[in-house]
């Protein structure tokens, strides 16, 4: 929901295809067959709104390096606890009764856990000892870079060093007792580092003022550039091997994100990339001891996981045991060590977790007690998510997904285009709470990964050519809707558009410039003038003072640099704000009062402009909310308000009656109440 940030030829591949299978471009017959199969199913029961607020009972789970324990963070009422589950089938025990941690990492020796919260890092021993607590962020801009693979129990921290009015950037090793060892200080922001077995930095990636670059370090500490990266080229250093090679993931010198080796001779070799040639690497599984890649997962179209090298047989066996699923893997070290397996799908709100024993091929379900799995919707109540591809009017193949509600005649159902944020982002094959909520109400949901989206290679992202106003990007979305309608998917007289952040901007564009198609819109945190919004974002917003300052260069490469007068003028001329007089369709806007990604004053100004023109938009503002709602009541209000708006204009089912707390929230925070929300207007 954010605006811009965040083969070897002999390898045998074993694919996991997330049901349903990907459809080829213009696969009308396959799409119609899938729709007919969904229509023949029983109608799904209507679920409460709260069923679609993604469950955070299980926040994170991590396998120990030896594969003998699983650490996990679990919500319990008003607190979050750290638990440890023995892999041999013993009972779990609580290590920390209360924590704000959101992520966890094991130390290499398996004796410590590093708990990362938004503002702190805490070290906890598996014997119950508590190590140091380190503040994150602050004036030092301290952040956790990665686990230090060269030490028994240490992490690498990046932090800022103030020198008068200037600044430098330092990489520091910190062990579980809090001992600090500076490894490098640099005038440039260091993104990532690779260490040798002795704990010395042998390679680093840093921002050079107008580009990123990868360097090797000589013995005297001097740098030698080995890769100069273009805009939207990224890399992550995975490991340094004894022969001088660097293992990494990214897309330098290529299109798709993939698993790479940079040899000691600085020659780049692809170890694994999407065999279909259409998706970026989403995740790579590493051996915790050797840091060698074991598996690669791709999720931009049909979710698929492939084994690499010696791990091919193991991954293939896991895939066979969970056919048609999106699999996430964590490996223990050694041929007999257990693997932690997560099973995901578009119809699974909460992942299922297993331990896999390579010695006997047994897959055992874990973390499935009622306190964790309660209230998760049955899969039969959720919609299939079909990967589709259609051809735009200029010949470009455009990717996306469509969700078909079970038991519904799609030709007679209202159709909602859901537009992702970013725009440097993309929809994935997995579960989407908002889309499933709408499908459960009988709406067909279309998700376009329009050109300019990530997930399909660098060339696909740059294919937008900066045309983010009422231009090529918006036409990809519109033409995708029309293509679906031509396949008998959706009622052409009942089409709506919804989205958050950039998706909210696209919603405003759709209602402004394509009112004959879109009858109603719901826009979350929408920039009403993308040129102004991009300028504010880099100068004063959340990304205005990022240490690497690279956002300006990314925007310039994407022809979105609003400091350029011509770009600013183009974006403004095509903006919903400059064309507010054309807005005639019903509109709901939702925003956060403390949003540092899209300025609340921009949102309020647009709503006030419409009201001054005699329109009747609704505006719901969470007083201290950020870019997206986080707390339960604002999140439920988001779904209720969206459902109310769509039902009023597309004829979906009447929303369930809101509870007392939700009613009070709406009455307090509806700044403008259109005719759909008169019941909640302040007296």
The two three-digit tokens of residue 627, written as one number: 């870019």
Say how far residue 440 (Cα) sits from the centre of its chain.
23
Strands (E), 345-463: 352-357, 362-366, 384-391, 397-404, 415-419, 444-449
Q: Which of 350, 274, 273, 396 is nearest to 22 (CA)?
A: 274
Q: What is the pLDDT of residue 537?
A: 86
- Does the structure show a pLDDT above 90 at 497? yes
The domain tally of the chain equals: 1
Residue 466 and residue 531 in contact, taking contact as beta carbons nearer than 8 Å: no
Residue 451 lies in a domain: yes
Q: In this predicted model, which residue has the larger pLDDT, 371 or 434? A: 434
Q: Which of 569, 586, 451, 434 is nearest to 507 (CA)?
A: 586
Name residue, tokens 């993104």. 191
Instruction: DSSP letter for 317, please.
Output: H
Sequence-ordered alpha helix ranges (H) in 387-501:
433-440, 458-462, 472-486
Q: What is the pLDDT of residue 554?
A: 83
Q: Which of 117, 83, 116 is nearest to 371 (CA)?
A: 83
Q: Which helix (H) or strand (E) holds 270?
A: strand 268-272
The two three-digit tokens of residue 305, written as one number: 């996981």
How is the chain split among helix, strand and coil, in percent rounded to 5? 25, 30, 45
Least confident of 371-380, 411-420, 456-465, 511-520: 371-380
Q: Which of 661, 156, 72, 659 is nearest to 372 (CA)?
A: 72
CATH number at residue 503: 3.40.50.1820
- Does the structure show a pLDDT above 60 at 581? yes
Residue 271 lies in a domain: no
d(CA 6, CA 627): 14
Name residue, tokens 């455009």. 398
Q: Which of 386, 436, 442, 435 is nearest to 413 (CA)?
A: 442
d(CA 365, CA 380): 21
Q: Which helix (H) or strand (E) holds 669?
A: helix 660-669
pLDDT in tens, 404-444: 999 999 999 999 999 999 888 999 999 999 999 999 999 99
The string of DSSP letters for 476-544 reads: HHHHHHHHHHHTT-S-TTSEEEEEETHHHHHHHHHHHH-TTT--EEEEES--SSHHHHHHHHHHTSTTT
pTM above 0.95, yes or no: no
d(CA 279, CA 595): 32
d(CA 137, CA 83): 26
Q: What is the pLDDT of residue 543?
A: 61
Residue 443 lies in a domain: yes
Q: What is the pLDDT of residue 78?
A: 73
Q: Which of 396, 389, 449 is nearest to 420 (CA)?
A: 449
Residue 406 lies in a domain: yes
Residue 237 lies in a domain: no
Question: Taking the C-alpha atoms of 581, 587, 591 and 596 in order, what is their torsion angle to the nearest 10 degrees?
Answer: -40
Give me the domain span that covers residue 457: 38-49+377-526+587-601+612-677
The two three-digit tokens of residue 539, written as one number: 């100068």
- Does the structure show a pLDDT above 70 at 27? no
d(CA 557, CA 8): 32
Mean per-residue pLDDT, 207-223: 92
Distance from the first to the final alpha carbon of the chain: 33
pLDDT category at 8 given cuts 50, 70, 90 is very low
Q: Which helix (H) or strand (E) holds 247?
A: strand 246-250
Beta bridge partners of 399: 389, 449
Q: What is the pLDDT of residue 546?
A: 62
- Does the structure show a pLDDT above 80 at 300? yes
- Does the structure show a pLDDT above 60 at 52? yes
Instruction: DSSP letter for 5, please.
Output: -
- Does the structure show a pLDDT above 80 at 12? no
Least confident of 429-443, 466-480, 482-496, 543-557: 543-557
Residue 546 lies in a domain: no
The string of DSSP letters for 618-629 reads: EEEEETT--SS-
d(CA 437, CA 418): 12
d(CA 33, CA 36): 5
The string of DSSP letters for 255-268 reads: SS-EEEEE-TT--E
CA angle, 633 as apex, 594 and 649 as ends, to 5°? 95
pLDDT in tens, 63-98: 999 999 999 999 887 779 999 999 998 899 999 999
Residue 409 lies in a domain: yes
Residue 386 lies in a domain: yes
d(CA 273, CA 255): 10
């Amino acid at each position: 929901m954010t605006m811009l940030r965040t083969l070897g030829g002999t390898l045998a591949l074993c694919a996991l295809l997330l049901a349903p299978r990907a459809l080829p471009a213009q696969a009308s017959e396959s799409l119609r067959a899938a729709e007919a199969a969904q229509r023949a199913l029983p109608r799904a029961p209507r679920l409460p709104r709260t069923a679609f607020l993604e469950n955070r009972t299980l926040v994170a789970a991590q396998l120990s390096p030896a594969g003998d324990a699983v650490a996990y963070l679990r919500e319990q009422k008003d607190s979050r606890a750290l638990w440890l589950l023995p892999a041999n089938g013993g009972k779990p025990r609580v290590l920390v009764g209360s924590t704000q941690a959101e992520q966890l990492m094991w130390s290499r020796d398996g004796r410590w856990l590093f708990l990362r919260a938004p503002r702190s890092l805490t070290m906890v021993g598996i014997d119950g000892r508590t190590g140091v607590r380190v503040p994150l962020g602050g004036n030092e801009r301290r952040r956790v870079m990665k686990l230090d693979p060269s030490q028994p129990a240490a992490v690498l921290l990046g932090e800022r060093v103030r020198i008068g009015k200037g600044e430098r950037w330092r990489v520091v090793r910190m062990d579980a007792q809090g001992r600090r060892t500076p490894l490098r200080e640099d005038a440039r922001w260091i993104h990532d580092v690779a260490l040798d077995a002795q704990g010395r930095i042998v390679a680093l990636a840093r921002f050079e003022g107008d580009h990123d670059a990868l360097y090797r370090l000589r013995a005297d500490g001097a740098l030698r550039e080995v890769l100069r990266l273009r805009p939207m080229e990224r890399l992550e250093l995975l490991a340094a091997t004894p022969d001088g090679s660097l293992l990494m993931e990214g897309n330098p010198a290529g299109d798709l994100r993939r698993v790479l080796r940079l040899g000691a001779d600085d020659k780049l070799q692809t170890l694994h990339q999407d065999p279909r040639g259409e998706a970026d690497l989403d995740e790579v599984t590493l051996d915790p001891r050797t840091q060698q890649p074991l598996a690669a997962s791709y999720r931009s179209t049909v979710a698929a996981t492939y084994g690499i090298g010696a791990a091919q047989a193991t991954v293939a066996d896991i895939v066979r045991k969970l056919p048609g699923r999106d699999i996430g893997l964590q490996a223990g070290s050694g041929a007999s060590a257990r693997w932690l397996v997560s099973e995901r799908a578009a119809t699974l709100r909460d992942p299922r977790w297993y331990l896999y024993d390579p010695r006997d091929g047994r897959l055992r379900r874990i973390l499935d007690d009622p306190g964790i799995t309660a209230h998760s919707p049955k899969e039969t109540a959720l919609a299939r998510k079909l990967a589709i591809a259609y051809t735009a009017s200029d010949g470009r193949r455009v990717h996306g997904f469509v969700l078909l509600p079970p038991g519904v005649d799609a030709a007679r159902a209202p159709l909602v285009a859901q537009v992702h944020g970013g725009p440097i982002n993309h929809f994935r094959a997995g579960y989407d709470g908002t889309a499933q909520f709408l499908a459960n109400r009988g709406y067909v949901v279309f998700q376009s990964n329009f050109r300019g989206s990530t997930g399909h290679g660098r060339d696909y992202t740059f294919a937008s050519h900066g045309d983010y106003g009422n231009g090529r990007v918006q036409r990809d979305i519109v033409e995708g809707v029309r293509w679906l309608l031509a396949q008998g998917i959706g009622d052409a007289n009942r089409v709506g558009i919804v989205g958050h952040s950039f998706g909210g901007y696209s919603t405003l564009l759709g209602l402004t410039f394509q009112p004959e198609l879109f009858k109603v819109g719901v826009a979350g945190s929408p920039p009403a003038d993308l040129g102004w919004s991009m300028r504010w974002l880099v100068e004063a917003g959340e990304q205005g003072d990022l240490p690497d300052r690279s956002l300006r260069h990314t925007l310039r490469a994407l022809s979105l640099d609003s400091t350029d007068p011509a770009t600013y003028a183009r974006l403004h001329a095509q903006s919903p704000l400059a064309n507010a007089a054309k807005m005639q369709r019903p509109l709901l806007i939702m925003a956060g009062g403390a949003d540092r990604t899209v300025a609340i004053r921009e949102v309020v100004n647009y709503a006030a402009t419409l009201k001054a023109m005699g329109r009747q938009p609704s505006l719901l503002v969470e007083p201290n909310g950020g870019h997206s709602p986080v707390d339960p009541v604002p999140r439920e209000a988001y779904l209720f308000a969206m459902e109310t708006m769509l039902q009023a204009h597309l004829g979906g089912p009447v929303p369930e009656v809101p509870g007392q707390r939700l009613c009070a929230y709406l009455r307090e925070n509806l700044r403008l109440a259109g005719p759909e929300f008169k019941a909640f207007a302040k007296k």
